[in-house]
Amino acid sequence: MELLKQRILREGVNLGHGILKVDSFINHQVDPALMLAVGGALAARFAHLGANKIVTAEISGIAPALTTGLALGIPVVYARKSKPVTMHPNTMTASAPSHTKGVMTELMVSPEFLGPRDHVLIIDDFLARGETIRALVSLVSRSGAQLMGIGAVIEKRFEGGRTSLADLGVPIETLAVITSMDNGKIEME
């Protein structure tokens, strides 16, 4: 997605250790028009799969998941990281490490909103090592829902997430692929 790649080259900051700061349009400030275009592009790649639900992880997955859901006309469930009092007692839980926060986080989904009747797309902001997405896959699988595809806005291919998720046998679609962040550069496919 050319618009997105240009934005990454213009505003993305390589903080070293593979960490890409895109806080000016995705992770702290969000550009709604860009996000709508991102959602439209992801939706176009998955439209033929007939999914009826999107699953994402709070926090930064919410914006691209919402616009993808808007384009496909299907609801979005965001896995929670801390349990509000409104949440169902029999929550499904999976763990994933957060490399930008340096801690393990739990991801929780209520069985009220994910179950055997669902055909699910997982959408997140980044596909890096694939650990958050793997945790979401485990929630989808535990709920009895069927995983149809995985999408992310930005892929850091050099971190190997795509390879590690290949065994799932579902399409993996990303809109900007970063192949290297060595020597302070941001190289894209």
- Which stretch, 104-112, 132-140, 143-151, 152-160, contacts a second copy (CB under 8 A)? 104-112
Q: Give which of 140, 127, 65 is closest to 99, Cα–Cα.
A: 127
Q: How far apart are CA 129 and CA 57, in angstroms?
A: 15
Work out whether 30 is an interface residue with a second copy (CB under 8 A).
yes
Work out whether 73 is an interface residue with a second copy (CB under 8 A).
yes
Q: How far apart are CA 74 and CA 151, in angstroms?
A: 15
Among 9, 33, 104, 166, binds a second copy (CB under 8 A): 33
Work out whether 126 is an interface residue with a second copy (CB under 8 A).
no
Q: Which residues contact 6 (CB under 8 A, 6 or more apart)?
A: none
Strand 146-156, strand 119-127: pairing: parallel
- Which stretch, 102-110, 141-149, 151-159, 172-180, contacts a second copy (CB under 8 A)? 102-110
- The tokens of 132 are what? 């958050």
Q: Give which of 28, 47, 33, 29 is closest to 4, Cα–Cα.
A: 33
Q: Give which of 75, 80, 72 is closest to 44, Cα–Cα.
A: 72
Work out whether 67 is an interface residue with a second copy (CB under 8 A).
yes
In order of 56, 108, 115, 165, 189, the CA distances from 171 in angstroms are 16, 24, 21, 10, 18
- Closer to a second copy at the Cβ: 46 or 78? 78
- Closer to a second copy at the Cβ: 113 or 158? 113
Among 42, 63, 133, 145, binds a second copy (CB under 8 A): 63
- Closer to a second copy at the Cβ: 73 or 184? 73
Among 1, 27, 158, 186, binds a second copy (CB under 8 A): 27
Site residues for a second copy per CB under 8 A: 13, 15, 19, 21, 23-25, 27-33, 35-36, 58-59, 62-63, 66-67, 69-70, 73-78, 80, 82-87, 100-102, 109-110, 112-113
